């Protein structure tokens, strides 16, 4: 397999893995895109303690700003997130999870952990640890490139 073919296969597999890892996690009244946004917001909490910009959520999820706005609107209407407006620049909108959003995140996290335990059993102890190590290295590379 050439480097070009390997890179293409990696793109395909990462997309499939991401969808497969969250596709079976369902919550009444919450769409998959909304759940992905909740997970994204929570994952950025340490870096963005004052809230994450909606544009950053879109970038991290790979969607355009016009596409992320209805997702955030819906999450706000359902009480999962709150919007915070910058005092210096009203165009800057940040989003934080509410207690209700935190509860959904925790429930989703537990379901994902259970699902990944099955993957770990399937891969075995050594392959699971190697998979985690490779993913951490890849994410480290990607965060430096972005």
Across residues 16-38, what is the average pLDDT? 80
Over 80: is that where the pLDDT of 18 sits? Answer: no
Nearest in space to 54 (alpha carbons), one of 96, 93, 101: 93
Which residues does residue 95 pair with via DSSP β-bridges, in sequence order? 52, 83
pLDDT digits (tens, 9 = 90+) for 88-146: 888 888 999 999 999 999 998 888 888 889 889 999 999 999 999 998 898 888 777 76
* Residue of 115 and 71 predicted with greater confidence: 71
Across residues 69-80, what is the average pLDDT? 96
Q: For residue 75, what is the domain's CATH number?
A: 1.10.10.10
Whole-number pLDDT of residue 124: 96
Q: Using alpha carbons only, what angle is made at residue 77 by residues 72 and 82, rounded to the nearest 5 degrees?
A: 60
How many distinct structural domains can be found in the chain? 1
pLDDT digits (tens, 9 = 90+) for 36-61: 999 999 988 888 778 999 989 998 88
* Residue of 112 and 18 predicted with greater confidence: 112
d(Cα 116, Cα 120) in Å, to the nearest integer? Answer: 6
Residue range(s) defining the domain that contains residue 129: 3-145
Element (H, E) at 96: strand 93-97
Largest CA distance in the chain: 53
Whole-number pLDDT of residue 24: 67
């Amino acid at each position: 397999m050439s480097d070009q073919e390997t890179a293409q296969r990696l793109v395909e597999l990462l997309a499939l893995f991401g969808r497969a890892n969250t596709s079976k996690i369902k919550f009444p009244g919450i769409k998959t895109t909304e759940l992905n946004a909740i997970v994204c917001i929570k994952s950025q909490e340490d870096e963005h303690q004052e809230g994450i910009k909606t544009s950053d959520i879109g970038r991290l999820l790979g969607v355009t700003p016009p596409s992320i706005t209805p997702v955030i609107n819906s999450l706000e209407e359902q009480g999962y997130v709150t919007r915070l407006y910058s005092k210096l620049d009203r165009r800057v909108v940040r989003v934080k999870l509410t207690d209700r959003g935190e509860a959904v995140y925790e429930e989703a996290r537990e379901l994902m952990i259970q699902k990944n335990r099955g993957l770990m059993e399937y891969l075995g102890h050594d392959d699971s640890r190697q998979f985690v190590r490779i993913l951490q290295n890849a994410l480290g590379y990607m965060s430096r490139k972005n």
